[in-house]
């Protein structure tokens, strides 16, 4: 099922966020569990297995819930970091610890407190929408795109099958992701 096909970015974004927020809780739980299993398997493959600091996120607005993996990844020796919006709209990442404190900041995004800056070598990027070329439709602020343009870092997108768009016009600042993980598959673009 595809929620939207070829409509404007803004209309697509709004329709996809609405779908994510209104979907059935039981379906969401099963989809997130399947997505987490696929993502965990991908992180054991090269070149992703070499990552030592993972830039992750705390889900908002119906994003895939990955937090069930965070403790396991931390136990496997990986450091985890949550983003906040820094100068010029570029994301900064602060080290997250399972026993640490988080505070809600701009756009209702939980951020580690105190904020200990770290540099991820792999980003797990939530996708509002995406296409088969690896282009991601985000919330429209361009924060991940600016971050990847300024600091080339490996990145994996995560989203739901229903959020795949046939195709949309990528903007000049958009960067394709080498892989996107959904509840049923891994889409490799490189």
Antiparallel, parallel or unpaired: β 129-130 and 122-126? unpaired
Question: How many Cα atoms within 13 Å fall on the side-chain side of residue 131?
Answer: 18
Decide: helix, strand or coil at residue 10.
helix
Please state, in angstroms and as integers, the Cα–Cα distance from residue 85 to each residue in 53, 64, 90, 142, following that order: 18, 20, 6, 11
Per-residue pLDDT of the chain (190 residues; tens, 9 = 90+): 444 444 578 888 999 999 999 999 999 999 999 999 999 999 999 999 999 999 999 999 999 999 999 989 998 999 999 999 998 889 999 999 988 899 998 878 899 999 999 999 999 999 999 999 999 999 888 889 889 888 888 999 999 999 999 877 777 778 889 999 999 999 998 7
CATH of 9-188 among 3.30.70.20, 3.40.50.1860, 3.40.50.300, 3.40.50.10420: 3.40.50.10420
**pLDDT the model gives residue 5:** 41
**CA-based nearest residue to 23, from 66, 58, 68, 63:** 63
Q: Where are the domains of the chain?
A: 9-188
Decide: helix, strand or coil at residue 51.
coil
Q: Are 47 and 150 in contact (CB under 8 A)?
A: no
Q: Left if phi > 0, otherwise alpha if psi is -120 to 50, otherwise beta: which for 173?
A: alpha
**pLDDT the model gives residue 179:** 96
């Amino acid at each position: 099922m595809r929620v939207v096909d070829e409509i404007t970015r803004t209309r697509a974004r709004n329709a996809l966020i609405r779908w994510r927020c209104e979907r059935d809780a039981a379906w969401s739980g099963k989809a997130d569990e399947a997505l987490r299993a696929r993502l965990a398997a991908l992180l054991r493959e090269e070149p992703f297995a070499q990552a030592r600091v993972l830039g992750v996120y705390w889900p908002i607005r119906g994003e895939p819930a990955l937090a069930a993996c965070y403790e396991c990844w931390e136990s496997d020796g990986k450091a985890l970091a949550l983003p906040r919006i820094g100068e010029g709209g570029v994301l900064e990442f602060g080290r997250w610890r399972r026993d640490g404190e988080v505070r809600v900041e701009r756009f209702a995004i939980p951020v580690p407190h105190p904020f200990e800056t770290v540099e991820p070598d792999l980003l797990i990027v939530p996708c509002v929408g995406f296409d088969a070329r690896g282009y991601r439709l985000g919330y429209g602020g361009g924060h991940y795109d600016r971050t990847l343009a300024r600091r080339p870092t490996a990145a994996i997108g995560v989203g739901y099958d229903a959020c795949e768009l046939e195709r949309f016009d990528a903007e000049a600042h958009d960067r394709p992701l080498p892989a996107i993980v959904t509840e049923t598959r891994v889409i490799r673009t490189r």
